[in-house]
């Protein structure tokens, strides 16, 4: 194990995080608010620690699989730990565990919050809180790969361990160029939404923060009532559309750029994703039309927004959907497990895994009638290899196991099973709000400190796709060289 390289990369990561706090400091200074000192102290501390770590000696340029897993897992833990400093030092969140929960929620683009009154926070803190969504959306480690090409050819191991989905594909041969292309797309979508929101009447400041939460599929808002505070159909539609766009595999935008429109629209994962959204919106609209709103257009608007928000794991809200009927809430609950597409900023299990699991079920049903038949699983004309099928089945089983055990543990708080299960689903799937105890009009502040730590771990596990974190807990991982 090349510990020197691991420490150096993590040090560079902290340097990037310190630089990332500078815009929040600038906002604080501009508005002359008291949190400027907290950002100065945080930047200095994180920069000093990061610079010291970056001086660690390295014996090799190549990063192996084991080192990539360690860098990604510890990297997310470190940026969350040090990212909590401004909250604590400014007094905005006095408890470090609460601040850590909020920061993990930000970087993992979960959007779960322990802050009961968001609107009293200084604007620099609110900026940093939302900016963590934007940094974490595409992945702070992928960002590191994009701007630090000197890390060497082994940087693919970081990209592979970081990328959401069952497989990480390079768009172009060089991994640093792939990362840069992804970020060019990411920045382009971000700037476009900011302009559109400003056109809709938002201030530049709020347009930026809500765009960070949309494109990063995070969901932190500057208002206690979330997007519902902006009583504008235009703003609701713009944010709803951009949530859907952010839940699409970003590599497909590169295909569109190359003019491969037909290939994009034939993409099976994209078609499933859009079909699930369309069907869910239609069913919920019909369900809440008479029972809640009595207006078909208003019902359609809220149904479209909440379906877009939940399936992309953003977590914004225009209405208190916890007050909707059981049928509509049941659909939203199921969408928590689906999530966005692989290679997007969305969380959840990803549509590609759902698609392959459905094909597996269909194949097993066919084998009852034709037991000797060899029926390959194909997606996009490509046969899925058996090891990937086994990996997807294992991921699903592990996901549901963690969900079930986590629900039992969280229920010890004395809350209903619906509240406990939705809290686990909302954090493990990086969604944010749930139902009842942690509905869209409530926060996670009422949980005990140990449960907040557990839910923080679930957020990290969900963002890093379970196995990346769990493999580090195996003694064999540290003992054997087969992972190198």
Annotated binding site for K(+): 109-110, 218, 313-314, 430
Tokens of 326: 């059981």
Candidates 171, 177, 193; CA nearest to 237 is 193
Distance CA 348, CA 110 (A): 10
Nearest alpha carbon to residue 157 among 93, 219, 68: 68
Say how far apart CA 342 and CA 160 lie, in whole Å. Answer: 12
> 401: burial class by Cβ within 10 Å (0-12, 13-18, 19+)?
exposed
CA atoms within 13 A on the CB side of 342: 18
Listed as own residue / partner, the contacts of 18-27 with beta carbons closer than 8 Å and 24 or more positions apart are: 18/42, 18/43, 18/46, 18/47, 18/50, 20/131, 20/135, 21/46, 21/86, 21/128, 23/127, 23/131, 24/86, 24/124, 24/125, 24/127, 24/128, 24/131, 25/124, 27/123, 27/124, 27/127, 27/205
Displacement of CA 155 from its chain's centroid (Å): 21
Half-sphere exposure of 22 (CA within 13 A, CB side): 7
Report helix, strand or coil for 382.
strand
**Binding site, annotated residues:** 109-110, 218, 313-314, 430
Judged by DSSP in three states, 383 sits in strand
- Please state, as a whole number, how many other Cβ atoms lie within 10 Å of the Cβ of residue 227: 24
Q: ∠ at Cα 177 (109, 7), nearest 5°?
A: 65
Which residue(s) pair with 382 in the sheet?
A: 379
CA dihedral (136, 141, 143, 148) in degrees, to 10, reads: 160
Would you mind telling me the total number of residues written for the chain in this entry?
Answer: 484
Q: Bridge partners of 379?
A: 382
Cβ contact 248:166 at 8 Å: no
């Amino acid at each position: 194990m090349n510990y020197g390289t691991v420490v150096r990369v993590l040090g560079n990561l902290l340097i990037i995080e310190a630089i990332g706090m500078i815009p929040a400091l600038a906002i604080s200074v501009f508005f002359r608010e008291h949190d400027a000192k907290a950002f100065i102290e945080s930047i200095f501390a994180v920069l000093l620690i990061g610079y010291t770590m970056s001086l660690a000696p390295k014996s090799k340029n190549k990063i192996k699989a084991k080192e990539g897993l360690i860098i990604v897992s510890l990297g997310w833990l470190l940026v969350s730990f040090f990212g909590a400093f401004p909250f604590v030092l400014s007094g905005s969140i006095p408890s470090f565990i609460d601040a850590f929960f909020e920061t993990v929620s930000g970087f993992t683009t979960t959007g779960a919050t322990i802050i009961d009154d968001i609107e009293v926070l200084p604007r620099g803190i609110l900026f940093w809180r939302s900016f963590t969504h934007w940094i974490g959306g595409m992945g702070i480690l992928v960002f590191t790969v994009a701007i630090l090409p000197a890390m060497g050819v082994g940087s693919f191991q970081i990209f592979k361990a970081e990328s959401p989905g069952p497989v990480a594909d390079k768009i172009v041969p060089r991994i640093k160029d792939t990362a840069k292309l992804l970020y060019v797309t990411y920045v382009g979508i971000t700037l476009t939404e900011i302009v559109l929101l400003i056109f809709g009447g938002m201030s530049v400041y709020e347009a930026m923060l809500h765009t960070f939460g949309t494109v990063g599929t995070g969901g932190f808002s500057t208002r206690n009532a979330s997007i519902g505070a902006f009583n504008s159909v235009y703003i609701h539609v713009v944010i709803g559309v951009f949530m859907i766009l952010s839940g699409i595999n970003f590599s497909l935008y590169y295909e569109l750029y190359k003019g491969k429109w037909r290939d994009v629209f034939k993409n099976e994962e994209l078609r499933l994703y859009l079909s699930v959204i369309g069907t869910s919106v239609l069913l919920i609209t019909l369900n809440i039309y008479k029972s809640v709103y009595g207006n078909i257009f208003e019902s359609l608007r809220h149904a479209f927004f909440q379906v877009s928000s939940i399936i992309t794991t953003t977590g914004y809200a225009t209405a208190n959907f916890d007050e909707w009927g059981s049928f509509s809430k049941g659909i939203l609950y199921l969408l928590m497990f689906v999530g966005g597409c692989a290679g997007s900023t969305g969380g959840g299990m990803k549509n590609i895994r759902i698609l392959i699991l459905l094909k597996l079920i269909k194949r097993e049903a066919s084998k009852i009638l034709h037991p000797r038949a060899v029926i390959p699983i194909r997606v996009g004309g490509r046969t899925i290899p058996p090891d990937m099928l086994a990996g997807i089945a294992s991921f699903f089983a592990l996901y549901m196991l963690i969900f079930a055990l986590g629900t039992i543990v969280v229920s010890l708080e004395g809350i209903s099973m619906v509240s406990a299960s939705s809290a686990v689903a909302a954090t493990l799937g990086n969604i944010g709000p749930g139902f009842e105890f942690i509905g869209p009009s409530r926060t996670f502040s009422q949980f005990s400190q140990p449960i907040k730590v557990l839910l923080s771990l679930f957020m990290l596990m969900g963002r890093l796709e379970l196995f990346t974190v769990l493999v580090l807990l195996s003694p064999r991982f540290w003992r054997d060289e087969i992972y190198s």
